[in-house]
Amino acid sequence: MASPWQFDLSFIIRALSLCQWHLSYLVIFWILQPILFYLLFTPFWPLPALYAAWLVVDWKTPEQGGRRVAWVQNWQVWTKLRDYFPITLLKTKDLCPEQNYIMGIHPHGILTFGAFCNFCTKATGFSSIFPGITPHLATLSWFFKIPLIREYLMAKGVCPVSQSSLDYLLSRNGPGNLVGIVIGGIGEALQSVPDTTSLLIRKRKGFIRTALRHGAHLVPTFTFGETEVYHQVLFPESSRMYRFQCWFQGIVGFYFCVFYGRGFFQDSWGLLPFPKPIVTIVGEPIIVPRIENPSQETVDKYHTLYTEALRKLFDEHKTQYGVSKTQELTFL
């Protein structure tokens, strides 16, 4: 019988690689930023002063395509993160590099491991799978107002999900741009429970309108396994904890989810995700005409086409990735 304290060194290395993804933001926010502020009161004050001046000059860069750094996206640590689960990216159709795209990413999960690894790093081979296409993963705009963190996000090809940012990438940055949007957003994190496939999408139509305004083709994707890597504690809507989660989301911008996974040692609990396969299937693009001021009827039409394509994509692949043949997508 294996000891509960037994551990695999290769697993530990992969787990540490995964941890650094989150810890790096904490280090930047809680250590590097205070150091930068402290330097203002030392003989090294020109360093933070120059960075502050740089921020003023560079403030709009995240809204104008960002500043990706290939060296960061190619770090070997991302391949270890990929191998932890592992994470795989598969396509059903090619994407033409002469066209721009909005990719709907489903589901959100707790921490969107699949979206990050596939579209912010080179670990799963996006460039070789979709040659000539540059991915941009859109996230909350206020992250880009935080010094140093904004630089780290841009280096990985992350962009704000603001309208001005999307407009720039889809109309003023040339062809071959793909903007990945987690359609369900942070609200969908509360739906992230193993063996469930509930998506917040019924009222999410802004991405359809944006696609129509720019003639950007719509690409549905579904990531199998994203909701399987953590167990989440759900609270009744009448409970104080649920009200706290809603209050927290209103203040900070994301939900305070109570979840758990495994620990570093075998059969232990912790905050590491369970190492289960995560597979992102990229569907066939939906051709979208360019309509500067689309009517609500047109938006609804393409929203229906998108949800039907997403459901079809899910149904065609679900049994290959551990989902019951009878399980259906639920649109909330």
Residue 170 in this model has a pLDDT that exceeds 90: yes
Cis omega (within 30 of 0) on the bond before 86? Answer: yes
Nearest to 198 by CA among 233, 222, 164, 174: 222
Residue 251 lies in a domain: no
* Residues 96-133 pLDDT 10s: 999 999 999 999 998 899 999 999 999 999 999 999 99
The overall average pLDDT reported for the chain is 92
- The pLDDT value given to residue 232: 87
Domain contains 219: yes
The answer to whether 123 and 81 are in contact (CB under 8 A) is yes
Quote the pLDDT of residue 307. Answer: 97
Question: Is residue 233 included in any domain, yes or no?
Answer: no
Helix (H, G, I), strand (E, B) or coil at 195: coil
State yes or no: pLDDT of 58 exceeds 90. yes
Let me know if residue 326 belongs to a domain.
Answer: no
Which range has the worst mean pLDDT, 29-33, 164-168, 264-268, 275-279? 264-268
Report the domain count for the chain.
1
Cα(197)–Cα(57) distance, rounded to whole angstroms?
Answer: 44
Of residues 325 and 183, the one with the higher pLDDT is: 183
Per-residue pLDDT, 5: 53
Mapped onto helix, strand or coil, the DSSP state of residue 139 is strand
Within-domain flag for 72: yes
Residue 250's Cβ-count burial label (10 Å; 0-12, 13-18, 19+) is exposed
Report pLDDT for 269. 85
Query: Does residue 104 contact residue 310 with C-beta atoms inside 8 Å?
Result: yes
pLDDT for the residue numbered 118 = 97
pLDDT band at residue 52 under the 50/70/90 scheme: very high
- Residue 243: inside a domain, yes or no? no
Q: What is the average per-residue pLDDT within 156-161?
A: 96
Q: Are 116 and 138 in contact (CB under 8 A)?
A: no
Asked if 109 and 192 count as a contact pair (C-beta separation under 8 A), the reply is: yes
Which band of pLDDT confidence, cut at 50, 70 and 90, is reported for residue 1? Answer: very low
pLDDT for res 179: 97
The pLDDT value recorded for residue 6 is 58
Q: What percent of the chain has pLDDT over 70?
A: 98
**Strands of the sheet with 269-270, listed across from one edge:** 231-233, 258-262, 269-270
| Phi, psi (deg, nearest 5) at residue 199 | -120, 135
Is the pLDDT score of 324 beyond 70? Answer: yes
Q: DSSP string of 281-292?
A: EE-PPBP----S
> Does any domain span residue 255?
no
CA distance 181 to 86: 22
Torsion (CA) 255, 226, 27, 155 in degrees, nearest 10: -110
DSSP string, 33-101: HHHHHHGGGSTTTHHHHHHHHHHHHHTTGGGGT----HHHHT-HHHHHHHHHTTEEEEESS---TTS-E
Token pair in block for residue 39: 């330097």
pLDDT one-digit tens code per residue, 268-318: 788 899 999 999 999 999 999 999 999 999 999 999 999 999 999 999 999
Tens of pLDDT along 198-255?
999 999 999 999 999 999 999 999 999 999 999 888 888 888 888 888 888 777 777 7
113 inside domain: yes
Output the pLDDT for position 149: 95
Instruction: Please state, in angstroms and as integers, the Cα–Cα distance from residue 121 to each residue in 14, 62, 138, 221, following that order.
Output: 16, 18, 14, 18
Q: How far is CA 39 from CA 43, 44, 54, 76, 313, in A?
A: 7, 6, 16, 32, 53
Domain containing 211 equals 10-225+280-319
Q: Contact 277/323 with Cβ under 8 angstroms?
A: no
**Pick from 280, 223, 273, 295: nearest CA to 84:** 273
Maximum Cα–Cα distance for the chain, whole Å?
68
Per the confidence metrics, is the pTM higher than 0.75?
A: yes
Please compute the mean of the pLDDT values over residues 60-73 and round it to a whole number: 95
**Which residue, 274, 324, 326, 317, is CA-closest to 106?**
317
The answer, yes or no, to whether residue 14 has pLDDT greater than 80, is: yes
- Residue 192 is predicted with a pLDDT of 85
What is residue 245's predicted lDDT score, i.e. its pLDDT?
Answer: 80
